[in-house]
Amino acid sequence: MLKINNLHASVEDKSILKGINLEVKPGEVHAIMGPNGSGKSTLASVIAGKEEYEVDKGEILFEDEDIDELGAEERAHKGIFLSFQYPIEIPGVSVTNFMKTAINETRKAKGMEDMPANEMLKMIREKSELLDIDRKFLSRSLNQGFSGGEKKRNEIFQMAMLEPKLAILDETDSGLDIDALRIVANGVNKLKSKDNAVIVITHYQRLLDHIVPDFVHVLHDGKIVKSGGKELAHELEAKGYDWIKEGVGA
């Protein structure tokens, strides 16, 4: 599904990713861990198509197509979803209207008609129940005055509505208490299938107790320096990141 080959990326001439190789197949859950500043969020943004980031070398293939030239919205239409670490507040646009716009624009790009209103409402009801979201919440302005937990739950709600093939969760666990974490993780788990894939980007192992990864990769200084199974996350939790850094330095 996703294949990243020798990816180098920079922002404002500062090199951040220095040769990433990663392959994600349908049905898999990958975790990307690493210390602050290792390039985790950059990797997520580059895959999703943030324009500030320049791809200097290498390629990102999504379903065998090079997506480097595609805008963020075109990547979204192909089924790539990024759950933001810091979701943006959009006053004056309700969660519901935002989702309707996103879904109908995606359908339009695929040459489909707008989703009928009753179908949309039914979907909104189902997905909001899945994430234990109050209906009143949906008529509020997008992310405006939302608590940290509400913002993240809203991100996963959007993911549920858009039904992406590849979901990238960028530090979705940060700012969540244990109850919110469980709700978010349950939501993600229920959306998982053999046809879609998830990349979980996190600093800590605790989210991975709930969303169990098939593979764990450790990012350090713009490179994946170690890959392994879910037990690698526990090892990192116990030992911290220093032994990785030392291992690389040595």
Nearer to another protein, 75 or 217 (CB): 75
11 lies in the site for another protein, by CB under 8 A: no
How far apart are the C-alpha atoms of 232 and 215, rounded to whole Å?
9
Please identify, among the stretches 17-25, 48-56, 58-66, 235-243, the one whose residues bind another protein according to the rule CB under 8 A.
Answer: 48-56
Nearer to another protein, 76 or 232 (CB): 76
Which residues ranging from 198 to 237 are in contact with another protein (CB under 8 A)? Answer: none
How far apart are the C-alpha atoms of 40 and 154, rounded to whole Å?
22
Please identify, among the stretches 45-53, 181-189, 201-209, 211-219, the one whose residues bind another protein according to the rule CB under 8 A.
Answer: 45-53
244 lies in the site for another protein, by CB under 8 A: no
Q: How far is the CB of 75 from another protein (least distance, A)?
A: 8
Among 145, 210, 161, smallest CA distance to 181 is for: 210
- Return all residues near 48 (Cβ < 8 A) that are at least 6 apart: 72, 75, 76, 80, 82, 168
Among 11, 55, 102, 225, interactor with another protein by CB under 8 A: 102
16 lies in the site for another protein, by CB under 8 A: no
Nearer to another protein, 55 or 93 (CB): 93
Cα torsion through 232, 234, 240, 241, rounded to 10: 20
How far apart are the C-alpha atoms of 195 and 28, rounded to whole Å?
9
109 lies in the site for another protein, by CB under 8 A: yes
- Name the residue type at position 177: D
Site residues (CB under 8 A) for another protein?
A: 45, 48-52, 71-73, 75-77, 81-82, 84, 87-88, 90-93, 97-98, 100-106, 109, 114, 141, 158, 162
